[in-house]
Structure formats: structure tokens, C-alpha cells
Amino acid sequence: MGGGTGDSAPSDSSPAATGSEAVVPAASAAPAAAAAASPALVDNTPAVPDPVAPWVAAAQSRQKIPFWAIPVLALLPIWAAIYMLTLDTPTPTELGPYEAGAEVYNNKGCSGCHGGAGAGNGNNPALIGPTGATKVFTVPANQVTWVILGSAGYKAAGLETYGDADVVRPIGGGMPAWGEVLTADEIMDAILHERSALNDEKFDIATWRDGFEEALSALLPAEQVAQFTAVLDKWEKDPPAPAA
């Protein structure tokens, strides 16, 4: 009788209690699910642009070349070259005998001895005044031979003086033979300058022709006489005149 009470079967409440402890409450999983489902916050504030350099801003605001002007500008060098080909080549201005004579006198040795105004320089005689060129040489022909031959040439020809009967001067030996250095045109132009510009003698072809060929032929070879006579012929056709 007593053994039967101790061996009684276990109560049904024990398995039920175990099952209730294994179940996870639904309320504890809700916050985690909500956190996973909520979207991330986005910053919609516009970004501040980098500052533009002043020279970049100036270039961007500058007015652009019209598209039609581009081919025009591209062809400008070609048009310029064509235009240059249509121009005439400029010819240098030729000096007249008066201007050319001043150029020779001032730049090729005459003024170095006789002075720019012809007043002389030390032992070198003056070309103006009472014993000037037009007084010593009353006709240009004798002055031409003197300038061509110089002191040595006159002495070689047996002459001891130079000039006309009005004013005769002894040969001192200092006059160069310009015929060896200058052309016929240059000598004639220089003498024209000395007689006209420095001594106010008006050009007169008859005065220049007076005894010209005879005086030159007496001292010079025929070929040289022809060169100087040709200059005189040119002056007769186109008389020298001072620049306006």
C-alpha cells in the first residue's frame, strides 16, 4: 500500500513550462526590424562652387568673334600678298645738278678744304669773295680743267699758274686731281654748285659753252673731253634749276 503512493506518474505541467520558456516574445524583435527598414537621411544642401579666377571670368564674358569673320581673317594674309604684288616698285628720286652738286661738294672732299660755305680753310683758298671761283675762272671751262687735273696735272702740262687773265694764281701744289676720283657728272655738278650756290652766278649755257671744248681738248684726251661735253649737252637740253 505505501509503495504505490511513491511511484505515482509525474504531473503534466512540467513539459508545458519548458515550452513557454523557449518562445521569443514578438514585441522584442520589432525595434530592430523598424531600424533596418528606415531610409538614411540625405543632405540636400547645394554645394558651394569653387571661385572663378578673374582672367577666366574675363575670357568667358568677352564677346566672341562672329563665325562669318573667321574665313575672312584666315584669308587676310593671302589678300595682303596679292595687294603687295600689284604695287609698283618705288623708284629713287634722282637729284638734279644743283642738289647733286651740293652733295658732292659737302660729302666728297671739297668742303673739307674750302669750307662748307666756300670761305677757305687755313692755307686752302676761298671760293667766294674777290678771289673766289667766279673771279679766278671767268668762264667755267678753265675751272673744269683745273679741278680735273689739279696742281700736279697742271705742272705736268707745263703750267705755272691757274685762272684767267683777271686773277691769276701760282700753283701751290695742294689741289688734288679730282678727275681720277669723281665722274664727269660729279665734277660738273660740284663746279655748278660752287659758281651758282656759293657765288650767286645764274646758270647760262652760253657762258658754260664759251671755250669749253677748246680748253679741255688742250689738256685732256679726247675720250675724257667727250664725257664732259656730253654733260654740257644734257644741260643744254634740260637746263639745271635750283630745287623749288
For residue range 48-75, what is the model confidence (pLDDT) as tens digits? 777 877 777 777 777 777 777 788 888 8
pLDDT in tens, 11-37: 444 444 444 454 545 555 555 555 555
What pLDDT was estimated at residue 169? 86
| Residue pLDDT, tens place only, 195-216 | 999 999 999 999 999 999 999 9
Q: Residue 137 above 70 pLDDT? A: yes
Angle at 195 between CA 158 and CA 182, to 5 degrees: 60
Is 138 or 42 the better-scoring residue by pLDDT? 138
151 burial (CB, 10 Å; 0-12 / 13-18 / 19+) is middle
Please state, in angstroms and rounded to a whole number, the distance separating the CA atoms of residues 185 and 101.
Answer: 9
Asked if residue 137 lies in contact with residue 191, where contact means CB atoms within 8 angstroms, the answer is no
Domain 97-237 has CATH 1.20.120: no
Tell me, what's the pLDDT at 28? 52
What is the per-residue burial (b if ≥16 Cβ within 10 Å, else e) of 96-123? ebbbbbbebbeeeebbebbbeebebeee
Higher-scoring residue by pLDDT: 32, 225: 225
Cα distance between residue 5 and residue 7, in whole Å = 6
pLDDT tens digits for range 75-95: 888 988 888 888 776 566 788
